[in-house]
């Protein structure tokens, strides 16, 4: 037999594959790391890269969903412009000039293909100076919270035979649910869920003894431990998740209960509609009934009401109060700006339209005039929409009559409470961009003292009137497409 020192093509290919597999094993390559960013404007995820033994992220990518931002390279300098402020970073250096002041970064600033990279650890000190608001960084788990956006939760055991574990969240959630023997795991990849006071919760039940909270790679995970097969069901528009024993013959990962379940006392033999094929339902799920928008914010101060009072601060206080009043009446409500954030008019309309809310309520404040003014859109002249696309400037057209009806209901409630009120139509954006009912409420003091706008009793009088009117018109608004 003759030996040769040449490999066949087949053997060579196999050898190359083995070498690559061995290199991957030695490198210990894991899943791509991500940074999850949560803000009033948007929730999003960004990939991280490793440089100099640190996690880095693109700074422009972090800021783009939050406001008007641009960047340019000038030799060894990388300039970032966020709205009107321009900051300067030196390539390969740890020193940057932010808002006219020098700032020391934990890691070198890098530029790759004109993309400015900063270490993740620098974001907790860098972003508050750029954005002008609070930022909380969970560096180990890759989670960044901009403003007061965290979703908190409580967990308590209800019943005993069989037991039910009830989670209540401060905002709607939609986690991925997975089960395996002894555990049910809820993974929150898009929601800013944060840990309770203790990451380990005990319930004193043999069937569901405990649950624990953890974070990692841009997600939060709640793991429920059980000695019985359990499943999760959602209610209260996604704000409540109940963990209960799986019914015999029901898979542990069953979907939400069908809307065609017979009501108590209804014969099970009653004719039922044919089963629908799996897939998206043609109906649009309404996440919130009302979207409340605190006008202005960030570097848009609105009107300077007096020497120490800005419109943007009054509107956010009114928005929070209105949310409480609406939710106390059973109306699910989203506050679009719940911190001192910059939101463009287009962003406000996009977010509100995306939630398919029954009504959008913009809040303004003014020092001139007395009482309240309620606005609906004054639409510009435009030809009828043609084709599948709706004109952005006249999107309100089909809902304008409903908006005017809602405005009349709000005005009538103010009149009942003897608050001076006027209803007006005005080219007040973003009302004309809204596809559903939309009004704006501008609050002025009842007298000459603008400080009345911050008085809790006056704010409560105003927000209670608006909430009562919306509750009265609930059925009419809810029936709108």
Spans of all domains in the chain: 34-146, 153-245, 290-380+391-478
C-alpha distances (whole Å) from 209 to each of 124, 182, 186, 215, 271 are: 37, 11, 17, 21, 42
Res 283: pLDDT: 35
pLDDT of residue 341: 79
pLDDT computed for residue 471 by the predictor: 93
Which pair of tokens denotes residue 472?
Answer: 């009265």
Between helix 400-416 and helix 456-472 the angle, nearest 10°, is 130
Divide the 481 residues of the chain into consecutive groups of 10 and give the mean pLDDT of each group.
Answer: 38 48 47 87 89 93 90 92 91 92 93 92 93 90 91 84 88 89 92 89 90 94 94 88 73 38 34 38 55 91 89 93 92 86 84 86 93 90 51 84 95 94 90 93 90 90 95 81 43
d(CA 324, CA 239) in angstroms, rounded, equals 15
Q: In this structure, are residues 141 and 34 in contact, taking their beta carbons and an 8 Å threshold?
A: no
| Closest among 397, 365, 402 to 384, alpha carbons compared | 397
> What pLDDT is stored for residue 226 in this prediction?
94
In Å, the largest CA–CA distance within the chain is: 110
CATH of domain 290-380+391-478: 3.40.630.40
pLDDT score, position 42: 82
pTM above 0.75, yes or no: no
Q: In the block, which residue shows the tokens 């998206």?
A: 280
User: CA of 424: how far to CAs of 79, 336, 359, 453, in Å?
Assistant: 45, 23, 18, 21
Taking the C-alpha atoms of residue 218 and residue 141, their distance in angstroms, rounded to an integer, is 6
**Distance (Å, whole) CA 328 – CA 315:** 20
Class at the top of the CATH hierarchy for domain 153-245: mainly beta
Q: 439 by DSSP, 3-state: which?
A: strand
- Residue 284 is predicted with a pLDDT of 36
Answer yes or no: CATH 3.30.457.10 is held by domain 34-146: yes
Res 365: pLDDT: 95
pLDDT at res. 246 = 80
């Amino acid at each position: 037999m003759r030996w040769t020192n040449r490999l066949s093509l087949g053997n060579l290919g196999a050898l190359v594959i083995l070498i690559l597999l061995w290199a991957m094993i030695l490198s210990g390559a894991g899943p791509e790391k991500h940074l999850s960013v949560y803000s009033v404007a948007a929730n999003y995820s960004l990939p991280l890269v490793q440089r100099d033994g640190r996690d880095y992220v693109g700074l422009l990518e972090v800021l783009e969903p939050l406001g008007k931002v641009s960047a340019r390279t000038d030799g060894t300098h990388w300039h970032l412009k966020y709205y009107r402020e321009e900051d300067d970073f030196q390539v390969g250096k740890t020193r940057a000039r932010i808002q006219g002041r020098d700032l020391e970064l934990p890691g070198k600033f890098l530029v790759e293909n004109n993309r400015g990279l900063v270490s993740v650890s620098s974001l907790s000190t860098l972003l508050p100076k750029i954005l002008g608001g609070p930022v909380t960084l969970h560096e180990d788990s890759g989670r960044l919270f901009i403003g007061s956006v965290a979703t908190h939760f409580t967990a308590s055991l209800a019943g005993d035979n069989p037991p039910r574990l009830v989670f209540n969240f401060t905002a709607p959630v939609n986690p991925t649910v997975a089960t395996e023997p002894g555990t049910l795991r809820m993974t929150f990849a898009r929601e800013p869920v944060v840990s309770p006071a203790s990451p380990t919760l005990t319930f004193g039940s043999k069937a569901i003894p405990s649950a624990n909270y953890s974070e990692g790679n841009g997600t939060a995970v709640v793991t429920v431990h059980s000695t019985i097969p359990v499943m999760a069901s959602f209610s209260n528009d996604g704000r409540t998740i109940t963990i209960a024993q799986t019914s015999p013959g029901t898979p542990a990962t069953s979907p939400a209960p069908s809307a065609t379940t017979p009501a108590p006392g209804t014969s099970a033999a009653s004719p039922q509609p044919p089963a629908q094929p799996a897939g998206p339902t043609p109906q649009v799920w309404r996440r919130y009934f009302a979207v409340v928008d605190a006008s202005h914010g960030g570097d848009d101060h609105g009107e300077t009401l007096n020497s120490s009072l800005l419109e943007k601060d009054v509107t956010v206080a009114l928005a929070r109060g209105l949310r409480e009043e609406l939710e106390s009446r059973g109306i699910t409500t989203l506050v679009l700006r719940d911190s001192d954030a910059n939101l463009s008019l287009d962003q406000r309309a996009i977010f509100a339209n995306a939630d398919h809310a029954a009504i959008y309520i913009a809040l303004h404040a003014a020092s001139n005039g007395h009482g309240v003014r309620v606005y609906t859109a004054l639409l510009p002249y435009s030809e009828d929409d043609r084709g599948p696309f709706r004109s952005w400037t006249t999107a309100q057209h089909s809902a304008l009559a409903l908006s005017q009806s809602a405005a009349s209901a709000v005005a009538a409630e103010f009149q009942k409470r003897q608050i001076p009120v006027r209803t007006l139509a005005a080219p007040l954006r973003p009302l004309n961009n809204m596809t559903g009912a939309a009004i704006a409420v501008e609050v002025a003091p009842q007298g000459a003292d603008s400080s009345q706008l911050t008085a809790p009793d006056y704010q409560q009088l105003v927000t209670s009137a608006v909430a009562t009117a919306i509750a009265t018109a609930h059925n009419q608004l809810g029936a709108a497409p």
